[in-house]
Amino acid sequence: MQAEICYKKMEIVLKGKIKEAVKILYNSEVTDDLIQIQETRKDFKGDFTLVVFPLLRFSKNTPENTGETIGNYLVDKFPAISGFNVIKGFLNLEISDTWWVEYFEKMAFEKSHLENCQVSNPETILVEYSSPNTNKPLHLGHIRNNLLGYSLYRILSACGHKVVKTNIVNDRGIHICKSMLAWQKFGNGETPQSSGMKGDHLVGKYYVLFEKEYRIQIEKLMIEGIDETEAKNSAPLMRETREMLLKWEAGDNEIFDFWKMMNSWVYAGFDETYKKLGVDFDKIYYESDTYKIGKEIVLSALKENILYRNDDGSIWADLSQDGLDQKLLLRSDGTAVYMTQDIGTAVNRFNEYKFDKNIYVVGNEQNYHFQVLKALLKRMGYKWADGLIHFSYGMVELPEGRMKSREGTIVDADDLMKEMQETAMEVSLELGKLSDFSEEEKEDIFRKIGLGALKYYILKVDPRKNMTFNPVESIDFNGNTGPFIQYTYARIKSVFRKAEQMGIHAEQGTLSEAKIGIKGIELIKLLRKFSETVSSAATGYSPAIIANYCYELSREYNQFYHDYSILGEDDAALRNFRLVLSRLTSEVIFTGMWLLGIEMPERM
């Protein structure tokens, strides 16, 4: 009876029926904006709630009486409504089990669970993530950055946008010169091949060594009576580093070749880490290229009096009219700052892709930087700068506090991934469920569980919030964790392997004959929310919305699995319904976790 409306959004159908009710009951036409429908809060009985207050002008009655009158009309005229209750000015509507099952029949055999997420006006969107410096290996902070960026790419793509994954490598500047100088002074020709170290780890080792020796020089100068600021500027190591940077920007062949060698070590190390983490890029930009473009743009803007030159020869922007500050763009010696590079990168990208949006996945300590970048580009006449979006995420800390690269107290990304895989192995072996697996199968499962635990623990947190990463909590097979969701998926796959052995198959057909029970209805209601969950994650730039949905769905399925027999059910129609419901649940869990970049093991 309701098959023709099952595939529509119930909210749309309800709006039409409520407009009809107002017209019949109160002889009034009502516009869509006055009909406010939302999901019923969990502490009240119902599925959808109508906010009655905007309709009182037509009913000329109390909120309670108006809600009762409209509720009675809907129950009488619309079979999908099985009941209602009124709490003050809110009419809570209950949808019949029959409607939910008929809806499920339509949903269960969709070709794609992401079809309803498609946007009507897809955009070209660039997502920049990772953005490493070539003076150190990737660490836990980079892991959150990469996971957020890559998941955002998958979510936006699933909604129909054309998404380009980009990376900007900070491969020039004072930071890499520090590692280069330290290697020259203390390296004795050490290479990744001679040391057995990954190239990014080797270069990072010399960055830490530079900072250690630099601190010793500063303390020595301070003992001699020089204040700290002057000591930092005049320390021999810092003077030599600045000289090296000037030679590099002047195109000194020897320095340039040395720089290329050390960076090649780092890139090889980065590639290894990205592959382990399961992320990649469509286009990689290098600051050593884009800063040149930025310098040309800055000098052009200077000629047009958009910028000004200071007495020492440095070039600045006055952004006080934008509520910002003065911003340095070229130092007095002509060397470029990060902002200059970002200007060049943004212009280069727009010329190449004509993007609608360029999303920068960068930590919240750079909020001001991106306010300045957008204001500068708009001041220079680039109207597309309104499409620059800073996806500002919170910092990752450890239970013992914040990481510090210069002191070598960072959590290395490679070490962390290895540790997570080893922890997954220990926990899995304790559970004793892998005895019939080959060693190769075990290794693959340990990898999926370990990385799944890491990725999920990071992505389930609202990206805008700071978070504390606790490896022990993340690997727990119970609670809101990746392994719990993976185990739920593997449990469903196990049901289907047993069903195949028994010659039982989930069939497409009439499912409405089965008396499916309240847990089945609750699962259907949750499955219905998947498309809107993905849409919300895309518009809100929040993978956490999908992560927590996957947990809620997994938890609900486990309660269903606990309360109802599936393969042991004698009623063929009911058994078939439970199998179809299980299959759809597994497909949605798989798709949701795929959007987060998490692999799902078939067995655990």
Q: Which tokens is 326 given?
A: 């003065």
The pLDDT, as a whole number, for residue 98 is 86
Please name every residue paired with 92 in a beta bridge, in sequence order, or none if there are none.
49, 85
Token pair 């070539």 is found at 134
For residue 449, pLDDT over 90 is answered with: yes
Helices 199-223, 174-186: axis angle to 10 degrees equals 90
Claim to verify: residue 505 and residue 552 sit in the same structural domain: yes
Claim to verify: residue 463 and residue 436 sit in the same structural domain: yes
For residue 8, pLDDT over 90 is answered with: no
Residues 240-268 have a mean pLDDT of 95
Q: What is the pLDDT of residues 532-589, one digit of tens each?
A: 999 999 999 999 999 999 999 999 999 999 999 999 998 888 898 899 999 999 999 9
Average confidence score pLDDT of the chain: 92
Residue 552 within a domain: yes
Token pair 């990208």 is found at 349
Residue 109 within a domain: no
Claim to verify: residue 229 and residue 328 sit in the same structural domain: yes
Q: What is the pLDDT of residues 118-166, one digit of tens each?
A: 899 999 999 999 999 999 999 999 999 999 999 999 999 999 999 999 9
User: Looking at the 3D structure of the chain, how many domains does it have?
Assistant: 3
Cα separation, 578 vs 514, in Å, equals 9
Residues 472-480 have a mean pLDDT of 87
Q: Give the length of the chain.
A: 604
Residues 33-39 have a mean pLDDT of 93
Residues 239-268 have a mean pLDDT of 95
Q: What is the pLDDT of residues 485-518, one digit of tens each?
A: 999 999 999 999 999 999 998 776 666 556 788 8
Last residue within a domain, chosen from 367, 397, 427: 397
For a pLDDT cut of 70, what percent of the chain falls above it? 95
Provide the CATH number for the domain around residue 35. Answer: 3.30.1360.70
Last residue within a domain, chosen from 370, 397, 424: 397
Do the beta carbons of residue 596 and residue 119 sit within 8 Å?
Answer: no
Cα atoms in the 13 Å half-sphere on the side-chain side of 489:
26
Residue 407 within a domain: no
| Between 519 and 374, the higher pLDDT residue | 374
Cα atoms in the 13 Å half-sphere on the side-chain side of 377:
24
Do the beta carbons of residue 487 and residue 601 sit within 8 Å?
Answer: no
| Between 333 and 539, the higher pLDDT residue | 539
The pLDDT, as a whole number, for residue 513 is 57
The pLDDT, as a whole number, for residue 437 is 85
Please name every residue paired with 49 in a beta bridge, in sequence order, or none if there are none.
38, 92
Claim to verify: residue 380 and residue 485 sit in the same structural domain: no
Residue 103 within a domain: no
Q: In sequence order, what are the residues at sequence separation of 6 or more whose Cβ sits closer than 8 angstroms to the Cβ of residue 572?
A: none
The pLDDT, as a whole number, for residue 530 is 94
Residue 117 within a domain: no
Please report the sign of the dihedral spanned by the C-alpha atoms of residue 477, residue 473, residue 412, residue 286: positive
The pLDDT, as a whole number, for residue 71 is 97
Last residue within a domain, chosen from 341, 367, 397: 397
Q: pLDDT tier at 399 (50, 70, 90 boundaries)?
A: confident
Residues 201-206 have a mean pLDDT of 96
Q: Which tokens is 390 given?
A: 């800073």
Phi, psi of 167 (to 5 degrees): -140, 140
The pLDDT, as a whole number, for residue 400 is 65
Task: Strands of 176-301 (E only): list them.
Answer: 283-286
Claim to verify: residue 447 and residue 580 sit in the same structural domain: yes
Claim to verify: residue 430 and residue 575 sit in the same structural domain: yes
Claim to verify: residue 136 and residue 8 sit in the same structural domain: no
Closest CA to 524 of 515, 535, 516: 516
Claim to verify: residue 359 and residue 421 sit in the same structural domain: no
Helices 140-158, 253-277: axis angle to 10 degrees equals 60
- Domain range for 518 is 413-595
Element (H, E) at 327: strand 326-330
Q: What is the pLDDT of residues 415-425, one digit of tens each?
A: 999 999 999 99
| Between 180 and 109, the higher pLDDT residue | 180
Element (H, E) at 148: helix 140-158
Claim to verify: residue 370 and residue 417 sit in the same structural domain: no
Residue 403 within a domain: no
Residue 111 within a domain: no
